[in-house]
Every structure is written in C-alpha cells, then in structure tokens.
A = this chain, B = another copy of it.
C-alpha cells in the first residue's frame, strides 16, 4: 500500500486538478463528497452514489459514536464493510456537531462532555477520543478534533478558540495511528480574520498533516466573507497537500472556491434539498412542489444522466413530492448528487483545458437565466 498523496495533474490560475491516492482507491479532485451521516447517504444506495461519479463519502463521528457506536462498527468490520462503500471515507471529528446537536455540553481544555440527543447518555469527545473513534470506524481520512465557534465572535475569543483548536490539532496528530494510505487532516480556524487564519495555517503546517481543511466557514456569513477568507488562507497552505473547505456549499460556492485553490468539499445541501422537493439545475434551484411543474412533460434538466431525468417528467416528480412518496426523495436526491458531481467533472475538465475562467463566466450566465420557461398553455404542441 502506497502513501496517501495528492498528485497535481494541472493548474489553471490558482485552481488545481488533482488525484488523491488512498488506501481505498483514488479520487479525482476537485471533489464533492456526499454526506453519509449515519452510515448512509440519505435515500440512496451506495450503487446509486457511485453511479453519479462520487468517489469519497463522509461519515459523521458524532452520529456514529452514539448509534450504532464506533465499537460496534469496528466489530462488524469497519465503516466500509458496514455501509457497503468501497471507496475512501472521510469522517469529521465530531467537534462541530457536538456543539450544534447535543445538550448539556461542558467544554474544557480536555474536550467536550455532552448528553446524547438520542437517549441523554453522557459522552466525552476529546482529541484522543475522536482519533480513537475515527480509527475504530476505519476512516480513510480522519479529521483533527477542533472547536468551531459561531460567527460573528469578538476577535479575542476567536483567537482563544483557534489556539485551543491548534493545541487540539497537536494532540490529534499525536493520537492518530498512522497507516499507509490513511490520512489525518488538520483544520484551519480563525473566523474571517486574516491574521488568525494565517497564524492557524502556520501552526498546522508546523505540526504537519496529510491534508488541510478550512473550517469555521459556511456558518451563515456572506459569500464574500467566505471567499475573502479563502483568498487570505489558501496561500499559507502547502501546495502539495489537499485543501478541503468544510460544509460548503451551493454550486456557486464550489465554483468560486475551486477558483481559489480548494480541492475538496462536502455539504448536506444536495441530499437535504432532495428530501424537501428541491432540484438543482444549471439554471438554479427549483422547487418541484410548485404547481408550474404539474403538467410539464419535460425532465428536471435536459441532458442530465440521472434516472430522474432519463425516465421521468417534472410532472411525475411533482406528483411524487405532493403525494409524499419516498421515491420522490430518492429521485431528487439522486438528481442533486448527480448535478453536483457533473459540476465537479466540468470544473476538472475546465482546469485541464485551461478554460476555467470561461467556464465560470458561462456558469454564472446560465445560473442567472432562471428556470426554463413554462410551456405555452401548460403543454407542448
């Protein structure tokens, strides 16, 4: 088994087209990683996920440690075998979700104690425990345990939080068990402060990780704040290591972040939107519950290769959503993940062809068109 690595195949401006090598096979970058919180990408089979071109999926440490528990997953052969996903799996550290989902949390330098949102049982998450859990899950890519403070936050407290995360990053590095083809990623913090982001990046680089994530963004701040933060942070991350922007985002966020040198993304948006009747198209997000679709024989998106667009009309999808049929969530989730993967494939191709700026211009122009016109009289001739 060779080492975990990122090969940069080509660049276009600050954007990079690469290939990750991992213990569980390769993955092309820039990559969008579907979120499989509780050991399943919601409403999709792993075959369906793979068919979209997705190569890495996420698992959530917080959810899995509570149910079915990391120890049980380990006894059952690890997360890959448990959920039937053969490719790389990235697990988050639990740091973000323990603060947003659990109750009665107590934070200290050691870590976070909390009560499960499922049954109220008490648990500890610390850098050492997070590393242990992610090891038990057999995650291909382990994330360092960090604190993800809410924004906005005064500079002094933001700095304290970031520095604690850096001490936790060091403890994570020490507790992580290195294995060939496996990786530990550090997480850059510092809110939207350029100084703190730089300080954090330097701290992480001096510890040394197989990859670098940018955390603490996509928490409600305006897109320009996020992009400006990327502009001032990415230059301090090693060029030969993958860069992962956590929890991002909308298609336009992915495009603008790839332009700024980001290689990896995850977000619940395409899957969650699929369960609430929303479909992503090149001309924007559309609500399939809307009555304008109920007689429309056209697919969600002409030319899309997903089963929803290959076989079904907008009218059918609209009907399924209205009737609260599970198949509606299944088909829209599939479509949305396909849409995201197609976007990533387009971005990779554009970087290879040195045509990223043209692609980005066309992308925004198409997005601004809005949805296709309703048919005359509600029906085609």
Chain A residues within 8 Å of B, Cβ to Cβ? 38-40, 42-47, 63, 67-68, 72, 75-77, 82-84, 275, 294-295, 297, 307, 311-313, 315-316, 318-320, 322-323, 325-327, 329-331, 379
Report the Cα distance A312→B320, complex, angstroms. 28
B45 touches A77 (CB 8 A): no
Min CB gap A219→B, angstroms: 25
B307 and A45 form a contact (CB under 8 A): yes
CB-nearest residue of chain B to A83? B316
Chain B nearest CB from A311 CB (Å) reads: 4
Shortest Cβ gap from A143 to chain B (Å): 22
A138 → B minimal CB distance (Å): 15
- Other than the given A45-B327, A67-B319, A326-B326, 12 more pairs (CB < 8 A) read A38-B320, A38-B325, A40-B327, A42-B326, A43-B326, A47-B307, A68-B318, A76-B295, A77-B297, A82-B315, A83-B316, A330-B330
Q: Report A67 CB to chain B, min CB distance, Å.
A: 6
Shortest CB distance A325–B (Å): 5
Q: Which 6 A-B pairs have the closest CB atoms?
A: A43-B326, A84-B311, A40-B327, A68-B319, A38-B323, A40-B325
| 26 A-B pairs (CB sep. < 8 Å) | A40-B325, A40-B327, A42-B326, A42-B327, A43-B326, A43-B330, A45-B307, A45-B327, A46-B311, A47-B307, A63-B323, A67-B319, A68-B294, A68-B315, A68-B318, A68-B319, A76-B295, A76-B297, A76-B316, A77-B297, A82-B315, A82-B316, A84-B312, A275-B326, A326-B330, A330-B330
- A319 and B39 contact, CB distance less than 8 A: yes
Which of B45, B47, B72, B379 lies in contact with A315, CB distance below 8 A? B72
Q: Which residue on B lies nearest to A327, using beta carbons?
A: B40
**Hey, which chain B residues are within 8 Å of A76, CB to CB?**
295, 297, 313, 315-316
Count of chain copies:
2
Which residues of chain B come closer than 8 Å to A325, judged between CB atoms? 38, 40, 42
Assess whether A44 is in contact with B322, with CB atoms less than 8 Å apart: no
B323 touches A67 (CB 8 A): yes
Q: Is the CB of B72 within 8 A of A330?
A: no
Choose among B39, B63, B307, B326 the residue that contacts A316 (Cβ–Cβ < 8 A).
B39
Cβ contact within 8 Å between A379 and B326: no
Task: Give the distance to chain B from A39, nearest Cβ to Cβ, in Å.
Answer: 7
A359–B326 Cα gap in the complex (Å)? 36
Q: How far is the CA of A82 from the CA of B294 in the complex (A)?
A: 12
How distant is A192 from chain B, measured CB to nearest CB, in Å? Answer: 35
In-complex Cβ contact of A44 among B42, B295, B327 (8 A): B327
Q: Which residues of B contact A84 (CB under 8 A)?
A: 311-312, 316
Most B CB within 10 A of own CB, among A40, A315, A318, A329: A40
Decide: B72 and A320 in contact? CB cutoff 8 A. Answer: no
Q: Assess whether B83 is in contact with A379, with CB atoms less than 8 Å apart.
A: no
- Chain B residues contacting A311 (CB-CB under 8 Å) are 46, 84
A96–B319 alpha-carbon span in the complex (Å)? 23
CA distance A83 to B329 in the complex (A): 15
The residue on B at minimum CB distance from A68 is: B319
With both chains docked as a complex, state the minimum distance between the C-beta of A163 and any C-beta of chain B, in angstroms. Answer: 36
